[in-house]
Amino acid sequence: MKIHIVTIGKPKLAYAAAGWEEYLGRLQRLHTVRVTHLADKYADGTAKIREATAGTFVVVLEITGTDLDSEALALFLTARELDARGLSFVIGGPNGLPQEIRDGADYRWSLSRLTLPHDLAMVVTLEALFRASSIKAGLPYHR
């Protein structure tokens, strides 16, 4: 499956940068993963985000989105794989995503009802995708 991770900014804190690299590497063993880190100056704009996600099934991370446990996320990935369309996960900046992007998304996913620091949300997203992909592949990581 082709997965595209689109973020506003990059992980800045040392623990987050290390976690990002760790889980990105793991996820890349199971999928074709592309990453686009948009500059913070595009946090409130829509054009760059739309350009980055064009032609894909767009999932935005949104606190009011649908909660998925790891098994449900694995099923979600399986269903998207059948679409034969790339899958983009969009992680907004510290202030979230513009309403227009949230409204235009194909799916809204909530990592938690908690407000997570931006850097941590990026790492948790990759770990959750890796865990769900491991379940899908029948690997023991998710236990």
Q: What is the pLDDT of residues 94-125, one digit of tens each?
A: 889 999 999 999 999 999 999 899 999 999 99
Give yes or no for residue 34 having a pLDDT over 90: yes
Q: For the domain that residue 106 is a member of, what is the CATH number? A: 3.40.1280.10
* Domains: count for the chain: 1
Burial class (CB in 10 A: 0-12, 13-18, 19+), 39: exposed
Give yes or no for residue 127 having a pLDDT over 80: yes
Q: Say which residue the tokens 């998925």 belong to.
A: 68
Which residues form the domain of 100? 2-142
Give 20 or 85, the one with higher predicted confidence. Answer: 20
